[in-house]
Structures are given as structure tokens and as C-alpha cells.
Amino acid sequence: MNFNDFKAMYIFLCICFGLAALTPVLSIFVRLPAGERFSEMWILGPKHLAEGYPFNVLRGSNYTVYVGVSNHMGSSMYYAVYVKFRNQTEQLPNITRQTPSPLPAIFEYRFIIPDGETWETKISFSFDFKNASLIRSLTIDNTTVIVNKPARWDSENKGYYYQLFFELWIYDADEASFRFHNRFVGIWLNMSSIS
């Protein structure tokens, strides 16, 4: 190695060490693009797995699912999960148009999650009914809500079907209210056996 090669390598190493030493100071002035910001939402069955979800609902039985949310938005976020109950003809949220279901929430959970953290809760529910085609009330976590929800006989699938679903909403500080965060999860329930 000749003197010029040694000199070039010495200058290169000085620049590298100088940049490494200045990195904390440079981070104040130079902002790198943030990664994708998103929230996750899921529903798990009674054994805390993605299987074994309640489906065939029986008279006088209690059912359990787990609903969870993870925050990857870059800062702490204030969330709401709205629980909704529908028959087969009522609207679900429209992800393409980013609009929630027009159905009223029958129960809600509100919580703050720091960035990179997770919230999860066990949800217990049961039903009171006149018959399979009319669900009178739904009890969630020991709170009973009158729903008076009728359903039509599904001749193709031979049953009365309802859906319990959960919408994710996020607090918008500019609007000082919650807005639909374009995520939802749910389970179908076959009420045919309760007639």
C-alpha cells in the first residue's frame, strides 16, 4: 500500500467515524420517512386460538371470544371497539368506502394503547330469545342489551343466522371525536337450534 492509498483510507475512515459520532445530532435535523402506520385487530376463539369459534348457539349457553388490537401508529392512540349485532340483511362496514355499519353499537370498549403495544379482552356473551327468528336481548360481559333482532330463514344454508361483529374506531383530536378506523372482525352465529 502506498502513501496515497493509505491517505485516502485514513480520510474515508475519519469521515465514517465523524458521521457516526454526529448521528444523534443529525437525527434532530434530518427526518427519515416513517414506516407504514397501522393498527391490527383480531378475534380468537374460547381457547385463545384462531379456531373453535362459537357457531351453533344453544339455549341458555354462555360463549367466549377474545378481541384484540395492536398499535403500530407511531405514537400512543385512543381507540374504541364498538360491538354490533346484525342479521343477514343488515349492512356490514364498507372497507372500500371506509364507512362503518349504520347499525347502532350495543356495547363499547375504550382504551389507550402505547405504540408497539397490544390490548386484548375476553368477551362473554349469551342470548335471550323468543325463537330462532327473533333475538330479544344479548348479554355481553354481564350487561344485557335489548336488540329485538329478527332474521329470515336462510333456505340455502337451512338456518337463522346472525353476526356479532366488532368495529375499530380511533380518536381524532382535530374533530374531538372517534372515527371509523376501517377495521372490523366478526363471527357468524347459527341460531337454528334454539327454536
pLDDT per residue as tens digits for the range 74-124: 999 999 999 999 999 999 999 999 999 999 999 999 999 999 999 999 999
What pLDDT was estimated at residue 195?
Answer: 46
Three-state DSSP class for residue 63: strand
Give CA 190 to chain center in angstroms: 23
Assess whether pLDDT exceeds 80 at residue 28: no
Assess whether pLDDT exceeds 60 at residue 46: yes
DSSP 8-state assignment for residue 193? G
What pLDDT was estimated at residue 33?
Answer: 57
Residues 30, 11: Cα–Cα separation, whole Å:
24
Residues 51, 145: Cα–Cα separation, whole Å:
27
Per-residue pLDDT, averaged over 25-43, amounts to: 74
Assess whether pLDDT exceeds 90 at residue 186: yes
Residues 147, 44: Cα–Cα separation, whole Å:
24
Q: In the chain, where do the E strands start and end?
A: 38-44, 63-72, 77-87, 107-113, 118-131, 134-140, 143-150, 161-172, 177-190
Mean pLDDT of the residues in the chain: 89
Residues 67, 49: Cα–Cα separation, whole Å:
11
What pLDDT was estimated at residue 15?
Answer: 77
Q: Which residue has the higher pLDDT, 143 or 12?
A: 143
Locus of grid cell 434530518: 30
Pick the closest to residue 162 from 89, 74, 110 (CA basis): 89
How confident is residue 189, by pLDDT bands cut at 50, 70 and 90?
very high
8 A C-beta contact, residue 115 and residue 71? yes
Q: How many residues does the chain have?
A: 195
